[in-house]
Structure 1
């Protein structure tokens, strides 16, 4: 990571979070740089791990996913081997769009998309309950996404 992010680095990060498709020329103009120094700064932010990648933001609804569920998982075992096996298996399940190992009553929080409630129920019974060492599953459903874009604050 760079020693400290200056005002220009922060402006670059905010601009790229807002629209990663900006050309270097557009990005440079937005932060009052010429293209070469702008490109070097972005490359430095990538090389240092501040920028970890670029991706398109897809609409679940447009792709036929009408249900977003937040699924809390309690594990029956907390051994490293079981945790690694569980986590590795999650990586292969496309309907799980995010996963966090959390503190509290439950061990993992999953964000899952499904076509409808019936297909989510089938997914929970046939896929989630079959994962290694799952003891308990608790699901909540999203009525609507209030803040769909994941923007990391660029401060300090």
Structure 2
């Protein structure tokens, strides 16, 4: 996929929106040195171009009763395209899985699963992950604490 060329104003817009997704167009325009209409037009172009994929609130997982972050490394029996696709389709339906990456190396996938407690994770493991055809092995590590988490990309 070719790299999208962003100018200095696009970069300022993206940085500002990453810092505060609720900023008004007028406030954003003031920050980046544009009037409101051209600023709104640039935002729309960034959205239509797929650079801005959406907007969301960052929720504290502990405060909503999901303090456990489990990192599961998954090895599949085979790495054929249909096996990879079947796994990805199943994982996409599981709300407990908040991140999942196809990996290089010893394991095929690395995923982060959130849970209310160890029993909830065990239920997820037994009722969903281990029942998926083609899974050869699962190794889980539990996070003791979070040092850094960010959705802000170092643009520019």
- Shorter-chain TM-score range: over 0.9
Contact 1:2 1:45 in 2 (8 A): no
* TM alignment of 1:8-19, pairs within 5 A: 8-19=9-20
TM-score of the aligned structures, taking structure 2 as reference length = 0.93
Aligned to 1:119: 120
Query: Is residue 2:64 matched to residue 1:28?
Result: no
TM-score of the aligned structures, taking structure 1 as reference length = 0.93
Alignment root-mean-square deviation, CA:
1.5
Instruction: Work out the CA distance in 2 between the residues paired with 1:14 and 1:30.
Output: 11
Aligned to 2:51: 50
Contact 1:28 1:35 in 2 (8 A): yes
Query: Is residue 2:83 matched to residue 1:82?
Result: yes
Contact 1:96 1:110 in 2 (8 A): yes
Tell me the CA shift for residue 132 of structure 1: 2.1
Instruction: Work out the CA distance in 2 between the residues paired with 1:40 and 1:119.
Output: 46
Task: Write out the 4+ residue segments of structure 1 that deviate beyond 2 Å after TM superposition.
Answer: 1-4
* Aligned residue-pair number: 155
